[in-house]
Amino acid sequence: MNRVLHGAFRAAVLATILGCGVTSPQARAQRPLTGPRPGASPSESGGGDDNPFAPEPAPTLPPGMTGSDISDPRAALTAGLYDAGEGAVGIKHLMLFKKPDAFQLGTAEPDDPKVKQMLDRLGFSDTAKVPKPVQLLIAQLAFANSDLAFQGNHLFQGNFYGVTIYDISDPSKTTLLTSMVCPGGQGDVSVYKNLLFMSVEMPNGRLDCGTEGFPPEPPPEPGHEKERRLPAAQKDRFRGVRIFDISDIKKPKQVAAVQTCRGSHTHTLVIDPNDKNNAYIYVSGTSFVRQSEELAGCSGEKPDKDPNTALFRIDVIQVPLAAPQDAKVVSSPRVFIDARTGALNGLNSGGGIHGKSNNKPADTDQCHDITVYSAIGLAAGACSGNGILLDIKDPIHPKRVDAVNDPNYSYWHSASFSNDGTKVVFTDEWGGGLGARCRQNDPNRWGADAIFRLKDDKLSLTGYYKMPAAQADTENCVAHNGSLVPVPGRDIEVQAWYQGGISVMDFTDPVHPFEIAYFDRGPIDPKMLVLGGEWSAYWYNGFIYGSEIARGLDVFELTPTKFLTQNEIDAAKTVQVTELNVQNQQKLAWPERLVVAKAYLDQLSRSEALPPDQIAALRKGIETAEASHMNKGKVAKLKQMAPALDQSAAAAKDPADATRLRALADILKHPSA
């Protein structure tokens, strides 16, 4: 993919946009960007390796692996931007809020002056050998929707060009509050109290949020077109984490801009339960290291040449809550170090397959995404060639306690813990989100989830999960961002798969995860790969929100199926949080309410963990207590049922059922409506 562009733009922009886990262009309101049709000849496409849309043949399935299901209804959905065919099971699509005009390029014509203007702002001047459709692609990439954060009745949607804030007090009638233009990509956001944090990595970011970018670089000298060059140093360039005061939600005010050597591809909000005065930000930079002339102390050398290299580390920003303008980098932990030798490049990918016979191990020198779980003092880092486990009890000095790799994994992208902290789901963003990776012959362990058990600070692989439906050659599809759905008694995650849509996975049994619900659209274009789809899909206070790269913001609600009952959905809705930053995972707790008890009963009935007559008696007892408005006598009868459940829990063969039985008994001992 990176062979398509050369010079300063190749180094600076493709490294930030097309590399490692990003993204997709988005379509404009009427006609989105399209690349050459699959199977286009070199003359049609712009020529061989210079065509980023040149179709990759689906690999031959390795022994023991299967591909995606071509008979799934999702495989035959009709194409369209806002009128694509839709398919859903267990999910109701409530609304799509289309992208605001501020985040549209406003043209689908490669020769439109707006394309050249945007490329100039990105610092891309050498267009002679770049096909016009690719130029349009890059220009539109500057307006891609990215990640989501939540606070109260507000939703914050990142974009490569800024942030959009929505009012979700009535999710089915979501309304726009404000769009804040502030370019720099990729625009991932998090929020804490009155502060909003935003990642900036691309070289067009300016300290003042200006849209003018910087002067384009001069073309390379003849014969030097393929040499790697960095953009000229600029005193007003910003790459790092922006901090905004959102006390006035409609008028965010930038109060700090913390520069880092590689910029911030993503970041993670970290709240130390023992520190009330500060918030911390873990910065994951995946791009090129800027020159020291632009930011003092930056070096992109290998460790053997410079032990102070900005590679092979993350950065930790401390944010004083009373004075966020004083935020600064306070440490740069060497999380990849070999503790035995002291080598900074102590981890590597272990090689890989993915259809290539000459893959060699590559050093891991970056994290794409880090999910912290402060309640258990650990973080899971998805770090290009490895999944790592960090001890974060001292948040300024995280320490690696374990690392894993997997030959089935191309690029470790993101991570989620189970609520009890005994499992970790890692995603593999094979192809960086830019390619079709869910075709009939794409192996089901590539571009998938890998599920690990976590015990005594050690990770062990148990199984894989991939969205099962085959997708077309014209749909970018690979594992991407998701969050837990708080159904008590089960481990469930809702997850985005770009143009593979949204899939809801049950991984309670990590060896045998399975899909319980989905939503999908057909491709944007029936003949050409047009990049779009769901970047993130997160559950927040009873609803699912999807950040659609090309289209806008989706709002969904779960509906009952044979895999998920209404009682389970209602029980999940009892968990209400005041903020949600998915990479700062919170421990979920359920109230001792009878609706939660009914969810456990449905699960115990499904697994046949209790005799049918006992299930029926428990249901009747709960319904009678509810109908009596929690009459003391009826409640007393419920309490009398609890000891038998404790006894059943002690004898249960399935640990999940034992947990459900104990939880059900606890509710019946202290029930509330």
CA distances from 615 to 360, 519, 522, 637, 655 (A): 56, 33, 42, 15, 19
Distance of alpha carbon 607 from the chain centroid: 32
How many C-beta neighbours within 10 Å does residue 449 have? 25
pLDDT for res 108: 75
Give 451-481 pLDDT, tens digit per residue: 999 999 999 999 999 999 999 999 999 999 9
CA distances from 631 to 567, 590, 591, 597, 601 (A): 22, 23, 19, 17, 21
pLDDT for res 357: 62
Nearest to 131 by CA among 7, 12, 27, 35: 35
Per-residue pLDDT for 331 more than 50?
yes
By the 10 Å C-beta count (0-12 exposed, 13-18 middle, 19+ buried), 297 is classed as: exposed
How many C-beta neighbours within 10 Å does residue 113 have? 9
Give 100-143 pLDDT, tens digit per residue: 999 998 887 888 999 888 888 887 767 777 888 778 778 878 89
Percentage of the chain lying above the pLDDT 70 cut: 90
pLDDT for res 11: 39
Rg of the Cα atoms in the chain:
25
Contact 91, 561 (CB under 8 A): no
> Which whole number is the average pLDDT over 231-259?
97
CA distance 74 to 4: 32
| Sequence-separated (6 or more) residues with CB below 8 Å from residue 662 | 645, 646, 649
449 or 137: which leads in pLDDT: 449
Contact 494, 539 (CB under 8 A): yes
3-state SS, 573-639, equals: CCCCCCEECCCECCCCCCCCEHHHHHHHHHHHHHCCCCCHHHHHHHHHHHHHHHHCCCCHHHHHHHH
Residue 213 region, left (φ>0) first, then alpha (ψ -120 to 50), else beta? left
pLDDT for res 203: 92
Least confident of 116-125, 227-236, 391-400: 116-125
Give 397-434 pLDDT, tens digit per residue: 999 999 999 989 999 999 999 999 999 999 999 988 88
> Which whole number is the average pLDDT over 588-602?
97
Instruction: Measure CA of the first residue to CA of the last residue in the chain; give whole Å.
Output: 57
CA distances from 400 to 388, 457, 615, 642 (A): 7, 10, 46, 43
Pair type for strands 481-484 and 534-540: parallel
Least confident of 39-53, 98-112, 533-547: 39-53
**Residue 284, token pair as written in the block:** 């994951």
Contact 667, 646 (CB under 8 A): no
Q: At what angle do helices 612-627 and 632-651 cross, to 10 degrees?
A: 150
Residue with tokens 């694509």: 84
Stated pTM of the model: 0.92
Residue with tokens 């759905």: 485
pLDDT for res 43: 27
> Which whole number is the average pLDDT over 151-160?
98
H helical segments located in 186-290: none
CA distance 301 to 311: 8
Contact 269, 581 (CB under 8 A): yes
Contact 432, 415 (CB under 8 A): no
Bond before 186 cis per omega within 30 degrees: yes
What does the mean pLDDT of the chain come to? 89
pLDDT for res 48: 32
Least confident of 238-247, 296-305, 356-365, 440-449: 356-365
Contact 503, 467 (CB under 8 A): yes
pLDDT for res 210: 96
pLDDT for res 140: 79
CA distance 525 to 483: 29
